[in-house]
Amino acid sequence: MVAGRVAAGRRGPDIIGPVEGESLWIAVRDGTRLAASLYRPSVPPPWPVVLEARPYRKDDCTLADADWYGRFAAEGGLAAVRLDVRGTGSSEGLATDEYPPQEQADCADVIAWLAAQPWCTGRVGMFGKSYSGFNAIQVAIERPPALAAIVAIYATDDRYTDDVHYGGGVRRGLDLLDYPAYMVAMNALPPVPALAGPDWRERWAERVLGTEPWLLCWLAEPTDGPYWRHGSLRPGYERIGCATMIVAGWSDAYRNATFRMFERLTGPRRLLIGPWSHMRPEASIPGPRVDIVPELIRWWHRWLRDDGGGGGGDPGPPITVFVRRPAPPEAAPDALPGFWRHEPAWPPARAATWALTGSEASVRQAATRHPEPATPDGCDELRTRADAGIQAPAAGADAPPWGLAEEQTPDEAGGLVYDWPVGETPRELLGYPMLELRLRSSAPVAQIGVRLCDVLPDGRSLLVSRGVLNLTHRDSHTDPRPLPAGEPVPVRLELDATAFVFEPGHRVRLLLMGADWPSVWPPPSVTTLGIVRSSVRLGLPVVAGPNPIADPPTFPEPIVAPSPVAASRALPAVWRTERDLIAGETRFVIDHGAETTLRTGTRVWERCWGTIAVTPEDPARAWVDARARFEVTYPEVRVATESHVRLVTDDVGQAVTVDLVVSEDGSERWRRRWQRSWPRGLQ
């Protein structure tokens, strides 16, 4: 959302393409018109077409992203189309939710329309980052006849466990400070007056009065089920038949779909994993930053063109991965140390498991400096500290202020630490670490936060991977069950996918916490967990032996491409922890935004800010207060929307209030409020 760091790089006549697209209206089966922009190549038609569909307003709020489209046209000879999904941007209709069934049907209609145009070869690809990566996967499930290939960038196959809603069956925390409020305000903006025509105010009124906050749907569905399975590829991977390229980043929150999608898809596939955050690879913090547009064009040429078309061209190695090396922890590093390499298949033939057990570990509660004995029943006790986790507040990084994890030892004051020496040879991890253990709980509802860390020789602790689990979901996300009082139960938890080298002289550290705040919502009570030390088994996925592909990958440097943005600046960012000794609260505060002026003269100002808070000694008492505001100045009118989301929990319930204020030329036009409450249940 906030403009990222601009990467310096090459620029040449071969990368000059159209800066702005040609406006199109595409009518879908119920007569609703969707707004699109077409970027035409300079070579004679017909052309293959690549389509991106998302709700983030192609003509103003995200017009700055249009440089890729011009490059697809200029460098790849591809027609590129940007689409505002139904009810967003200038498209007609209402945006009823994230990824509703109507959206996939609309996209299938758009693909059929594009394929039928005289300037199209009949082959269409679909791609996108984040939201549009999700719906590329979802539309591929529907198998539109003309859809020949997709590229999903920073997306996932499971909306319940791996989106911004319920990680490990626990409601996300910090994500509530941003996206829910942001989408309420953005969805209330009008269609672009110059595109929509003289009735734009009527369509605006329909949108403001008819669109509900998406957050209400998400809060009403705390367990997995039909709502979340819609739009999730997992576990039915055979439903996709077209060629699929996956682009992921180790610093991004959506990295977990990478290997499981590649392994289970049945059609042609390609996997590229870099060090990147939720920013485009050429501008990511952290780097190394690379230009992946040529990689995408090569993919499109192979599967969309008659002279590639799935039967020709060099596909290259199917997996390209960046492997991270240790470095002192830093929230916003310019680049991570490491190296690129290829893999011929997944799982690799040379894959193995490095098994570490609790019986072999040095164990301590981090509040002390000495090893601690287990209790008489063989358990290591872990008492919930509800604000434990602050050193890695976000599940993944993005543009500032959303940074990487900081040094982890301060969080150890709220947890149990298990240490193992690395030994005399390096250990290269590639895949999903797995933790198995048995534990007992003093409360029927509890959670466990897990962090795998690399301890540097100087004692600093670097986060490598993490996981979290609502322990009532230990057997199922669809049918959670309370924990039996005092009775040990088995727990198995898969941590986030990673690629990392543990070096000789370092230590492997497993940090267990009874919370992982503010990344996820705190548990409803202070709980004591008893971890059966002899049951702790940490399985680390390693690769051993020589790599069968010796040549390392190479990428072009990032480029500076033509942009429709005349000027852009980030607003001052805030990323701060507060401790209120009088209220007894720990709070995390964010504030960020940007101001952009387009070459068309339109000015977009946006800001998100808010606070998430917990009472460490009474974690049921937690709240989030989030706001988002947009001001868009068109030649014809100045509009503004502001949303306010407040969610509060106690030990029995949760209540949410959403407010929206919409104005035109400084005068308020509409004010709306939504209020809902639910039992807390097993959250």
Question: The CATH number of the domain where 73 resides is what?
Answer: 3.40.50.1820
C-alpha torsion 118→121→123→128, nearest 10: -80
Predicted confidence at residue 69, as pLDDT, reads: 94
| pLDDT of 121 | 97
2 domain residue, yes or no: no
Residues 390 and 530 in one domain: yes
Beta bridge partners of 50: 80, 125
Q: Does the pLDDT at position 131 exceed 90?
A: yes
Residue 295 and residue 256 share a domain: yes
The rounded distance, in Å, linking the Cα atoms of 454 and 462 is 5
- Going by their DSSP bridges, the two strands 507-513 and 415-421 should be labelled as antiparallel
Q: What is the pLDDT of residue 3?
A: 31
Residue 232 lies in a domain: no
pLDDT of res. 550: 80
For residue 110 the two structure tokens come to 């758009």
Whether the predicted pLDDT of 12 surpasses 70: no
**Does 192 lie in the same domain as 72?**
no
| pLDDT for position 373 | 66
Pairing of strands 147-153, 243-249: parallel
- 112 and 163 together in one domain: yes
pLDDT attached to residue 5:
30
CA dist 451 and 676 (Å) reads: 34
Q: What is the pLDDT of residues 132-190, one digit of tens each?
A: 999 999 999 999 999 999 999 999 999 999 999 999 999 999 999 999 999 999 999 99
Q: Is residue 6 part of a domain?
A: no
Burial 56-67 (b: 16+ CB within 10 A, else e): bbbbbbbbbbbb
What was the pLDDT predicted at 375? 72
Judge if 338 and 356 occupy the same domain. no
pLDDT at position 16 is 59
Task: Indicate whether 4 pLDDT > 60.
Answer: no
Asked whether the beta carbons of 592 and 608 are under 8 A apart, the reply is: yes
| pLDDT reading at 577 higher than 60 | yes
**CATH number of residue 433's parent domain:** 2.60.120.260
Task: Give the integer Cα–Cα distance in Å for 272 and 252.
Answer: 13
Q: Which of 486, 510, 543 is the last residue of a domain?
A: 543
Q: SS3 of 409, please? A: helix
Q: For the chain, what's the residue count?
A: 683
181 and 163 in one domain? no
Q: Averaged over 447-472, what is the pLDDT?
A: 98
CB 401 within 8 A of CB 279: no
Same-domain pairing of 469 and 422: yes
358 in any annotated domain: yes
Provide the 10 A C-beta neighbour count for residue 85. Answer: 25
pLDDT bucket at 413, cuts 50 / 70 / 90: confident
Q: Distances from the Cα of 63 to the Cαs of 169, 504, 564, in angstroms?
A: 36, 48, 7
**Do 214 and 658 meet the contact criterion of CB atoms below 8 Å apart?**
no
- List the end-to-end C-alpha distance of the chain, in Å, as a whole number: 30
Same domain, 161 and 183: no
Can you list the pairs that 24-31 forms with residues at least 24 positions away whose Cβ atoms lie under 8 Å?
A: 24/81, 26/83, 26/109, 26/110, 26/113, 26/114, 27/113, 28/86, 28/105, 28/106, 28/109, 28/110, 29/105, 29/109
pLDDT in tens, 346-394: 999 999 999 999 999 999 865 545 556 667 778 999 999 999 999 999 9
Residue-wise DSSP of 147-164: EEEEEEES--S-TTTSSS
Is the pLDDT confidence value at 311 over 50?
A: no
**Token output for 600:** 């068309």
Stretch 16-33: mean pLDDT: 89
Tokens of 180: 């829910």
47 and 165 fall within a common domain = yes
State residue 19's pLDDT score.
73
pLDDT of residue 17: 65
Residue 218 in this model has a pLDDT that exceeds 90: yes
Q: Which of 300, 317, 342 is the last residue of a domain?
A: 342
H or E element at residue 603? strand 603-614
> Could you tell me where the beta strands, DSSP code E, fall in 209-365?
243-249, 269-274, 319-324, 338-343, 351-357, 362-365
Range of the domain at 591: 175-222+565-683
Strand 47-54, strand 120-129: pairing: parallel
Mean pLDDT of the chain: 93
Our CA angle for 118, 119, 120, nearest 5°, is 95
Tell me: do 579 and 648 sit in the same domain: yes
For residue 231, tell me if it sits in a domain.
Answer: no
Q: Are 182 and 55 in contact (CB under 8 A)?
A: no
Q: What is the mean pLDDT of residues 538-562?
A: 88
Q: How many CB atoms lie within 10 A of CB 114?
A: 26
User: Which residues of 471-572 form beta strands (DSSP E)?
Assistant: 489-494, 498-502, 507-513, 528-532, 537-543, 565-570
pLDDT of residue 440: 96
End position of a domain, from candidates 322, 342, 362: 342
Tokens read off for 21: 């697209």
Q: Is residue 627 part of a domain?
A: yes
Tokens describing residue 342: 């290829």
- Write the pLDDT tens digit of every residue in 312-331: 456 689 999 999 999 999 99
Report the distance separating Cα 164 and Cα 177, nearest Å: 11
pLDDT digits (tens, 9 = 90+) for 65-103: 889 999 999 999 999 999 999 999 999 999 999 999 999
Domain count, the chain: 3
580 falls within a domain: yes
- For 551, the 3-state DSSP assignment is coil
Cα separation, 507 vs 453, in Å, equals 8
Residue 536: both structure tokens together: 């702790």
Q: For residue 175, what pLDDT is reported? A: 95
208 falls in which pLDDT band (50, 70, 90)? very high
In a domain, 85, yes or no: yes
Q: Are residues 69 and 104 in the same domain?
A: yes
10, pLDDT greater than 70: no
**Rounded to an integer, what distance in angstroms lies between the CA atom of residue 28 and that of residue 123?**
19
Instruction: Using a pLDDT cut of 90, give the percent of the chain over it.
Output: 87
pLDDT digits (tens, 9 = 90+) for 230-285: 999 999 999 999 999 999 999 999 999 999 999 999 999 999 999 999 999 999 99
> Both 426 and 287 in a single domain?
no
